[in-house]
């Protein structure tokens, strides 16, 4: 680690804490390898304290790995991840997580409400039955994603989009300040996608940070304010307008995709829209 | 199988009831209480093991006790104490089974070998090592313990009061731990990664769960033998799974099944001659399993088949009615007109035979009737039903179109799928939704334009 | 049950194969093979191998030092479950005579023994020359096909005396010059067995009628019971997979209480838990039952001790049973050589 | 005592070692499919599940000779396999649980049959039937290298060895003929079904073959070895390679070497 990357002098740090919020997630020199082939190579990245942040990149670029390694779910070869300036163990209650749907056993005997209740464990404590307050909070989270009517359904009996909403509700129930979401829009229909993005926008307006792995380049500029472009290494990171550029996308995707043109168009449109809004 | 005369049967029934109510003999009472408690504990722990996909863990564990027993014996010989002392042997058994658990954990964590293979490896290597040790002991002068393997294997019927007390204590503790750690256990079983993110000490919780299974297995092994303890861990949980989709009910139900199997099985063994208690308990659990498999309303095969059949019948009925309605609509004859079955068959893509069968069924249900000229018409009930079905279908289509869900054909297909599950309340909700979106819900919306492809 | 399989054997075999240079190239063979061959033709003593100690002991009594006798299974070993090792097999093939019990007592080994016999070796099942009428069948006869017999013949001294004759004949056949010595040995051991039998008859007859019930863990004492007019009740069957039912335990407890039977017995090669359950059950009904001592069923005592001989083993059983069930017998048995065990 | 002379080698070590090698070879190859299908513990499950078959074989034939009992065992193993597949498919049980349910119930059934029939009074040693032991596989007709070419001596080869050799041949044929099908169904049964391949039925056939091979190997080398041999070589190979074909070859090689 070079001196430049380590934390600023203490005085400055304290000042920073007072004036501006700390970055929700700061990744330093993260390197991750599966079976000796590196997936992520020396990625350093700092998110803003709030807002909607997309992680984009081609398949195998290490998008999910970045999230999972930050959360300590896959071993890092080197590097560290700080949440609100601290290691995860100190601020777990402030971090919510939405895993990829494929990692779940859908045959598990749990209702939608049960799943959402899992989001409250941290706040409730591990032992003993869950109190009424937490149940209510879980129900509220379900209602927020429009799933209140399905509270008692077994999760396997829900459609893909509904399942995703339940897991989003679980993340919401955590009442966190930072949400890490692994492909929240994968395999959901248009209506669910809209519901989800609305919920995410509400979170962002409430001053929370949402980091989501996102696949659809065409919608990315529309949905998110910030972006991290990955291709094993860091290609670019920062505000959508300045980073989501043809050059960066070309570098990440190698210019292979016809989709790129669409994405670039969309970016231009979104940028124009944002300018109008500001005007 | 029964080798008893008719005269014996009432007597057997009497003693069965007596044993059930703990009124038979001292030994029977001890066994019934002991196996019931063990069944409760094993059932509860087994429920979590089933969900953790480690059902066969208890099998591996019980095999992994063998080298422990042999090593403990050798230690006893070396220390010149009684090498057959049960506490010593049990301590050895526990030690190696804990080692077995850790080995399974280690193998799966450190390599790409999956859990089932890891369990198998541990099972065979530990047991094989135990066998090697046994053949060494066989040659020892003090050895002469061919029965060593069976030494820690209990015989259910020979359960004694201290055994039952031990089982009781362990069962109580296991149930308590299951109740206290219910949420962490559930989270680890369901989604260990998520648990890790929210700060659950997953490894620790996992070890607690494994600790429970080790304790239940070793105690059960000593009291009732190898196969029975494996069965009591797996079978009640597998049976309970058929009855519910809710974990909060599944775990107690599994414990209950285990307890009932222990209770009835032991009582059965006490009432008829030549029924080995352990095996009878497993068979009772097996009967519970088979009954659950067949008849459980939630996931049983019969309930499943019935549900599927009903859905199919409802679908066929609705398709018939809507096709008839649309035929009549197209012909402009009004709801009271007649239609040809062949047209409906063509519209729905049914074979003539299939269509005939459906028509007979619809007639039997009173929805439609055959006319003397061979055509059919809808009865008043049928008309009403057809109208309802068609309206629901079109409302849904409309909603999908308003929402912009894509091409008309797609909307139609999805409406097809959904109309059979639309309750009146949902139709009302649909109307409201459409109204909110500025589309009027007419009494009978027109059929959207679509290419009529077969 | 998974069972103990040939892991050890495999290990050794693998090692050996490796030594032998993989699949078949036997490099150092010839030098190793010279030794036993050279001896084989010399004036050495015939080598005799007995599977179980009961046979080995009698053979030793008959032959004295004329032959070299080894026993395959040691003290306390259950012959049903014995797992021959490679050296056992080598020893078996290297012996001039192999005596085994037969009637499938030797479990897995039987197959190898029968094969060896078929290959023209002197491998003799000592009990199978006994007439079928005097052998016991299990309670219900098996279907047609092969006859199934209770193999625990040594429990009846008079039958074992006849087995001794079979052993002596075989020895004489194989070693004609020793014929006379074997005949003497046979007469001697038969006389001692007869004396033991007389003692046993006397002692066991002194048990009160009501209490003439021998309750023990598994059914090895049928020949014994038939010979001395006892009733024998095993808790579980003979098969290794057999498991007792609760009903069986309850019935036996009822029998104990009803007849005021003072003792039940533990066997040397079977865990005693079953028997303890009976004691508890009777105690709960207010009848105190003692554990009447450990009986030798399938195996004998430690080599070198009196109980480590056939005579001593039967003496021990008879004395322990008689004294525990309320009969009259000297504390140290027929020959006053039993270790003074604390019989309750 | 351990004279390593040619005759001893041929009589004791060669047949035993060869049996072990053949058993390991068959198990190692078949074990691949079990490990790939997450059914590694099939060997263990079968070793328990054959009990009712053994008892039934004994009761029907009334004899303790191995033949009928082995037939019963194979029948029981096949039944257990079918039941396990049914439990997985119809009862939606995870395969470990399915095996656990089936084998424990079958074993208990066997025990009750044993007690209820007269078999309990017979010294029916189940271990004996199931726990073939290498040491007892002898080729006593061998007298020297020449015996390897002597038909009369070869006819005396131990039955277990012959059975195992036959089983290996069957396995080799099966794998050679259905190589591609095996690959497809192991990797992606749904896709195979979509292609019109009857994956479930094929899987059943495969499992039945495995069951038969297991029982044959039980008799020759004992169940614990079979359990180990089904898993360990394949698992080891899994660690060494990701390629399917290489895995098969490796597993066979490893198991033969171990044998």
pLDDT tens profile B89-135: 888 989 999 999 899 888 887 777 778 888 888 888 888 788 778 77
Token pair recorded at residue D19: 């049996």
pLDDT tens profile B381-397: 888 888 888 888 887 77
A254: left (phi over 0), alpha (psi -120 to 50) or beta: left
Question: For chain B, what are the domain ranges?
Answer: 11-298, 307-436
CATH class of B307-436: mainly alpha
Of D12, D61, D114, the CB nearest to C90: D12
Residues 6+ away with beta carbon under 8 Å from C131: none
> What average pLDDT does range A145-164 have in this prediction?
86
- CB neighbourhood size of D171 (10 A): 20
pLDDT given at position C14: 42
pLDDT given at position C3: 37
Say if residue B3's pLDDT is above 50: no
pLDDT tens profile C255-302: 999 999 999 988 766 667 778 888 988 998 888 988 888 888 777 777
Q: How far is CA B172 from CA A271, B256, C105, in A?
A: 65, 14, 45
pLDDT given at position C106: 78
- Domain-embedded: residue D5: no
> Does D111 contact B301 at a Cβ distance shorter than 8 Å?
no
> In angstroms, what separates the C-alpha of D188 from chain B's closest C-alpha?
17
Of C90, C115, C240, the CB nearest to D126: C240
- Domain-embedded: residue D4: no
Q: B178-187, B340-349, B368-377 — which one is most confidently predicted on average?
A: B178-187
Using a CB–CB cutoff of 8 Å, tell me whether C257 touches chain B. Answer: no
Query: Which residue of chain A is at minimal alpha-carbon distance from B195?
Result: A118
List the beta strands (DSSP E) in C72-224: 97-100, 123-125, 213-218
Of B131, B132, B270, the CB nearest to C246: B270
DSSP string for residues in chain D: -----HHHIIIIIHHHHHHHHHHHHHHHHHHHHHHHTT-TTHHHHHHHHTHHHHHHHHHHH-S--HHHHHHHHHHHHHHHHHHHHHHHHHS---HHHHHHHHHHHHHHHHHHHHHHSGGGGTT--HHHHH---GGG---TT--SGGGGG-HHHHHTS-HHHHHHHHHHHHHHHHHHHTHHHHHHHHH-HHHHHHTT--HHHHHHHHHHHHHHHHHHHHHHH-HHHHHHHHHHHHHHHHHH---HHHHHHHHHHHHHHH-
Instruction: Pick the residue of C12, C21, C127, C148 with the most D CBs within 10 A to test the interface with D by mutation.
Output: C148
Of B63, B132, B156, the CB nearest to C2: B63
CATH number of the domain enclosing D63: 1.10.3470.10
Q: Cα separation of B265 and B263, whole Å? A: 6
**Among candidate residues B41, B426, B13, B6, the one with its CA nearest the CA of residue B212:** B41
Token pair recorded at residue A17: 């804490």
> Does A73 contact B196 at a Cβ distance shorter than 8 Å?
yes
Place of tokens 């040693």: D125
ipTM, 2 decimals?
0.79
Token pair recorded at residue B204: 């620790």
Tell me whether strands C231-236 and C213-218 are parallel, antiparallel or unpaired.
parallel
Q: Which chains touch D (3 or more CB pairs under 8 A)?
A: B, C
> Does B190 contact A89 at a Cβ distance shorter than 8 Å?
no
pLDDT given at position B397: 75
List the beta strands (DSSP E) in C185-255: 213-218, 231-236
> In angstroms, what separates the C-alpha of C308 from chain D's closest C-alpha?
25
Q: Above pLDDT 70, what percent of chain A?
A: 86
With an 8 Å CB cutoff and a minimum of 3 pairs, decide whether chains C and B touch. yes
Crossing angle between the packed helical segments D199-221 and D159-177, to the nearest 10 degrees: 160
pLDDT given at position A218: 83
pLDDT tens profile D127-155: 655 665 666 677 766 666 767 777 777 77
pLDDT tens profile D48-77: 888 899 888 888 877 666 778 888 888 999
Q: Is B97 helix (H, G, I), strand (E, B) or coil?
A: helix
Of B26, B141, B149, the CB nearest to C4: B149
Question: For chain A, what are the domain ranges?
Answer: 21-101+176-269
Using a CB–CB cutoff of 8 Å, tell me whether C247 touches chain D. Answer: no
Nearest 5°: the CA angle B69, B73, B74 is 120
Least confident of A29-33, B216-220, B278-282, C84-88: C84-88
Q: How far is CA B103 from CA B52, B123, C224, in A?
A: 17, 10, 50
pLDDT tens profile D159-189: 778 888 888 888 888 888 888 777 777 766 6
Of C2, C116, C150, the CB nearest to D140: C116
With an 8 Å CB cutoff and a minimum of 3 pairs, decide whether chains D and B touch. yes
- Given a cut of 50, the residues of chain C with pLDDT beneath it are 1-42, 140-145, 342-344
Say if residue B253's pLDDT is above 90: yes
Q: Cα separation of B227 and D111, whole Å? A: 11
Q: Is C150 helix (H, G, I), strand (E, B) or coil?
A: coil
Residues 6+ away with beta carbon under 8 Å from C103: C125, C127, C128, C135, C149, C150, C151, C153
| DSSP code for C270 | S
Q: List chain D residues with CB under 8 Å of C84.
A: 133, 135-136
Number of independent structural domains in chain D:
1
Of C4, C244, C251, the CB nearest to B158: C244
- Domain-embedded: residue D3: no
pLDDT given at position C10: 44
Q: Above pLDDT 90, what percent of chain B?
A: 22
Q: Which residue has the higher pLDDT, C197 or B136?
A: C197
pLDDT given at position C38: 38
pLDDT given at position C193: 94
Nearest 5°: the CA angle D83, D86, D88 is 110
Tell me whether strands A51-56 and A78-83 are parallel, antiparallel or unpaired.
unpaired
> Does D63 contact C145 at a Cβ distance shorter than 8 Å?
yes
Q: Cα separation of B391 and C231, whole Å? A: 86
Answer yes or no: same fold for C44-132+150-204 and C206-324: yes
> In angstroms, what separates the C-alpha of B177 from chain A's closest C-alpha?
10
- Domain-embedded: residue D6: no
With an 8 Å CB cutoff and a minimum of 3 pairs, decide whether chains C and D touch. yes
The answer to whether the CB of A132 falls within 8 A of the CB of A186 is no
Q: Cα separation of C49 and B341, whole Å? A: 91
pLDDT given at position C202: 92
The reply to whether CATH 1.10.3470.10 applies to domain B11-298 is yes
End-to-end CA distance of chain D: 24
Place of tokens 């490893």: D254
Using a CB–CB cutoff of 8 Å, tell me whether C339 touches chain B. Answer: no
pLDDT tens profile A26-53: 988 888 887 667 788 888 888 888 889 9
Say if residue A185's pLDDT is above 60: yes
Query: Which residue of chain B is at minimal alpha-carbon distance from C86?
Result: B135
DSSP string for residues in B115-148: HHHHHHHHHHHHHHHHHHHHHHHHHSTTT--TTH
Give the largest CA-CA distance in chain B.
104
Say if residue B143's pLDDT is above 60: no
> Does D91 contact B278 at a Cβ distance shorter than 8 Å?
no
pLDDT band at D248 (very low <50, low <70, confident <90, very high): low
Token pair recorded at residue B201: 């000490």
> In angstroms, what separates the C-alpha of B281 from chain D's closest C-alpha?
8
| Centroid of chain to Cα B119 | 22
The continuous run of DSSP H or E covering B183 comes out as helix B182-197
CATH class of A21-101+176-269: alpha beta
Q: How far is CA D183 from CA D178, D179, D197, in A?
A: 8, 6, 12
Assigned fold of C44-132+150-204: Rossmann fold (3.40.50)
> What average pLDDT does range A202-231 have in this prediction?
89
Assigned fold of C206-324: Rossmann fold (3.40.50)
Using a CB–CB cutoff of 8 Å, tell me whether B298 touches chain D. Answer: no
pLDDT band at B452 (very low <50, low <70, confident <90, very high): very low
pLDDT tens profile D189-245: 667 666 666 777 787 888 888 888 888 888 777 777 778 778 777 666 555 544 545
With an 8 Å CB cutoff and a minimum of 3 pairs, decide whether chains C and A touch. no
Mean of pLDDT over chain B: 81
> Does D97 contact B238 at a Cβ distance shorter than 8 Å?
yes
Q: Which chains touch B (3 or more CB pairs under 8 A)?
A: A, C, D
Q: Which residues, in sequence order, are bridge partners of residue A37?
A: A34
pLDDT given at position C2: 37
> Does A114 contact B191 at a Cβ distance shorter than 8 Å?
no
Q: Cα separation of A130 and B197, whole Å? A: 19
Question: For chain C, what are the domain ranges?
Answer: 44-132+150-204, 206-324
pLDDT given at position D246: 52
Q: Cα separation of B302 and B292, whole Å? A: 10
């Amino acid at each position: 680690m070079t001196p430049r990357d380590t934390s600023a002098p203490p005085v400055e740090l304290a000042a920073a804490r007072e004036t501006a919020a700390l970055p929700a997630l700061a990744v330093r020199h993260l390197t991750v390898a599966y079976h000796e082939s590196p997936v992520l190579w020396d990625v350093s990245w700092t998110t803003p304290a709030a807002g909607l942040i997309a992680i984009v990149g081609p398949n195998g670029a290490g998008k999910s790995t970045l999230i999972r390694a930050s959360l300590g779910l896959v071993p890092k070869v080197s590097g560290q991840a700080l949440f609100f300036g601290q290691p995860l163990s100190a601020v777990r209650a402030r971090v919510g997580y939405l895993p990829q749907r494929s990692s779940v056993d859908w045959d598990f005997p749990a209702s939608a409400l049960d799943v959402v209740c899992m989001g409250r464990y941290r706040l409730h404590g591990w032992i003993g039955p869950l109190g009424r307050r937490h149940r209510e909070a879980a129900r509220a989270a379900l209602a927020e994603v429009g799933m209140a009517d399905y509270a008692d359904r077994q999760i396997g009996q829900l459609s893909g989009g509904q399942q995703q909403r339940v897991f989003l509700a679980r993340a919401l129930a955590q009442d966190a300040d930072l949400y890490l979401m692994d492909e929240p829009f994968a395999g959901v229909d248009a209506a669910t996608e809209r519901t989800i993005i609305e919920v995410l926008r509400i979170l962002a307006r409430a001053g929370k940070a949402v980091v989501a792995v996102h696949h659809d380049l065409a919608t990315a500029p529309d949905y998110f304010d910030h972006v991290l472009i990955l291709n094993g290494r860091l290609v670019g990171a920062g505000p959508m307008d300045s980073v989501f550029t043809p050059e960066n996308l070309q570098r990440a995707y190698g210019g292979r995709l016809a989709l790129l043109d669409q994405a670039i168009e969309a970016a231009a449109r979104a940028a124009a829209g944002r300018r109008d809004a500001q005007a | 199988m029964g080798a008893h005369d008719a005269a014996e049967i009432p007597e057997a029934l009497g003693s069965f009831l007596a044993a059930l109510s703990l009124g038979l003999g001292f030994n029977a009472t001890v066994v019934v209480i002991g196996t019931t408690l063990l069944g409760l504990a094993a059932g509860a722990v087994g429920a979590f093991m089933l969900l953790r996909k480690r059902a066969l863990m208890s099998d591996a564990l019980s095999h992994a006790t063998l080298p422990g027993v042999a090593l403990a014996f050798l230690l006893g010989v070396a220390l010149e104490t009684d090498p057959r002392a049960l506490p010593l042997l049990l301590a050895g058994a526990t030690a190696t089974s804990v080692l077995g658990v850790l080995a399974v954990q280690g193998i799966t964590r450190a390599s790409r070998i999956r859990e089932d293979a890891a369990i198998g490896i541990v099972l065979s290597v530990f047991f094989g090592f135990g066998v090697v040790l046994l053949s060494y002991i066989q040659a020892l002068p003090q050895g002469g313990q061919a029965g060593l393997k069976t030494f820690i294997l209990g015989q259910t019927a020979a359960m004694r009061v201290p055994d039952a007390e031990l089982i009781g204590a362990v069962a109580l503790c296991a149930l308590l731990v299951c109740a206290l750690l219910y949420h962490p256990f559930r989270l680890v079983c369901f989604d260990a990664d998520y648990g890790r993110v929210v700060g659950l000490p997953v490894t620790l919780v996992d070890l607690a769960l494994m600790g429970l299974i080790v304790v239940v297995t070793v105690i059960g092994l000593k009291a009732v033998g190898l196969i029975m303890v494996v069965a009591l861990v797996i079978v009640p949980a597998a049976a309970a799974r058929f009855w519910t989709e809710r974990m909060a009910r599944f775990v107690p139900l599994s414990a209950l099944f285990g307890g009932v199997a222990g209770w009835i099985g032991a009582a059965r063994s006490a009432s008829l001659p030549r029924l080995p208690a352990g095996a009878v308990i497993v068979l009772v659990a097996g009967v519970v399993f088979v009954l659950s498999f067949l008849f459980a309303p939630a996931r049983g095969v019969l309930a499943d088949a019935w549900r599927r059949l009903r859905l199919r019948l409802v679908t066929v009925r609705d398709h018939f009615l809507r096709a008839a309605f649309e035929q009549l609509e197209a012909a402009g004859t009004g709801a009271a007109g007649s239609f040809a079955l062949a047209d409906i068959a063509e519209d729905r893509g049914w074979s003539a035979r299939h269509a005939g069968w459906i028509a007979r069924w619809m007639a039997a249900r009173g929805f439609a009737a055959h006319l003397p000229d061979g055509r059919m018409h809808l009865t008043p009930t049928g008309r009403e039903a057809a109208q309802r079905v068609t309206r629901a279908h079109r409302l849904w289509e409309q909603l999908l179109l308003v929402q912009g869900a894509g091409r008309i054909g797609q909307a139609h297909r999805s409406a097809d799928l959904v109309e059979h599950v639309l309750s009146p309340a949902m139709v009302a909700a649909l109307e409201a939704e459409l109204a909110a979106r500025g589309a009027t819900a007419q009494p009978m919306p027109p059929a959207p334009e679509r290419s009529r492809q077969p | 049950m998974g069972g103990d399989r040939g892991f050890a054997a495999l290990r050794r075999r693998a090692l050996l194969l490796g030594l032998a240079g993989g699949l078949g190239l036997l490099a150092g063979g010839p030098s190793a093979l010279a030794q036993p061959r050279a001896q084989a033709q010399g004036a050495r003593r015939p080598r005799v191998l007995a599977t179980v100690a009961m046979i080995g002991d009698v053979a030793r009594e008959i032959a004295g030092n004329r032959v070299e006798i080894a026993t395959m299974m040691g003290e306390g070993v259950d012959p049903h479950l014995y797992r021959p090792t490679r050296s056992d097999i080598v020893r078996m093939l290297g012996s001039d005579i192999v005596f085994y019990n037969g009637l499938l007592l030797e479990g897995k080994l039987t197959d190898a023994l029968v094969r060896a016999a078929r290959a023209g070796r002197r491998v003799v099942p000592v009990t199978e020359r006994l007439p079928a009428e005097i052998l016991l069948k299990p309670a219900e006869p098996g279907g047609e096909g092969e006859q199934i017999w209770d193999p625990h013949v040594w429990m009846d001294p008079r039958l074992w005396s006849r087995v001794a004759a079979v052993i002596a004949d075989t020895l004489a056949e194989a070693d004609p010059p020793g014929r006379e010595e074997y005949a003497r040995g046979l007469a001697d051991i038969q006389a001692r067995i007869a004396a033991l039998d007389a003692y046993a008859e006397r002692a066991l007859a002194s048990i009160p009628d009501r209490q003439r019930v021998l309750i023990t863990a598994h059914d090895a004492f049928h020949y014994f019971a038939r010979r001395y007019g006892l009733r024998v009740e095993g808790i579980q069957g003979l098969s290794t997979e057999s498991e007792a039912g609760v009903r069986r335990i309850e019935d036996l407890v009822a029998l104990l209480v009803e007849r005021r039977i003072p003792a039940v017995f533990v066997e040397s090669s079977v865990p005693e838990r079953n028997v303890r359950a009976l004691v508890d059950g009777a105690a709960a009904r207010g009848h105190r039952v003692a554990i009447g001592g450990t009986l030798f069923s399938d195996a004998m005592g430690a080599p070198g001790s009196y109980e480590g001989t056939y005579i001593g083993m039967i003496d021990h059983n008879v004395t322990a049973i008689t004294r525990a069930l309320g009969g009259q017998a000297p504390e140290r048995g027929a020959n006053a050589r039993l270790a003074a065990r604390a019989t309750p | 005592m351990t004279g390593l002379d040619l005759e001893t080698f041929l009589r004791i070590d060669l047949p035993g070692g060869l049996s072990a090698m053949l058993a390991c070879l068959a198990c190692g190859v078949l074990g691949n499919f079990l490990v790939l299908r997450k059914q590694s513990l099939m060997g263990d499950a079968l070793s328990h599940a054959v009990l009712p078959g053994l008892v039934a074989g004994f009761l029907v034939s009334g004899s303790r000779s191995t033949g009928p009992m082995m037939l019963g065992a194979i029948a029981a193993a096949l039944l257990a396999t079918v039941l396990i597949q049914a439990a997985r498919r119809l009862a939606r049980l995870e395969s470990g649980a399915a095996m656990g349910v089936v084998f424990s119930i079958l074993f208990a059934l066997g025990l009750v049959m044993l007690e209820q029939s007269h078999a309990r009074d017979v010294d029916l040693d189940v271990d004996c039937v199931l726990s073939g032991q290498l040491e007892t596989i002898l080729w006593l007709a061998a007298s020297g290298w020449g015996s390897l070419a002597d038909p009369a001596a070869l006819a005396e080869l131990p039955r277990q060895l012959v059975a195992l050799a036959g089983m290996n041949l069957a396995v080799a044929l099966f794998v050679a003929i259905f190589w591609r099908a095996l690959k497809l169904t192991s990797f992606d049964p749904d896709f195979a079904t979509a292609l019109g391949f009857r994956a479930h039925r094929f899987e059943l056939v495969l499992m039945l073959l495995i069951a038969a091979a297991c029982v044959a190997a039980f008799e020759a080398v004992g169940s614990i070895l079979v359990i180990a041999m089904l898993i360990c070589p394949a698992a080891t190979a899994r660690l060494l390679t990701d390629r399917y074909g290489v895995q098969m070859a490796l597993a066979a090689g490893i198991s033969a070497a171990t044998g």
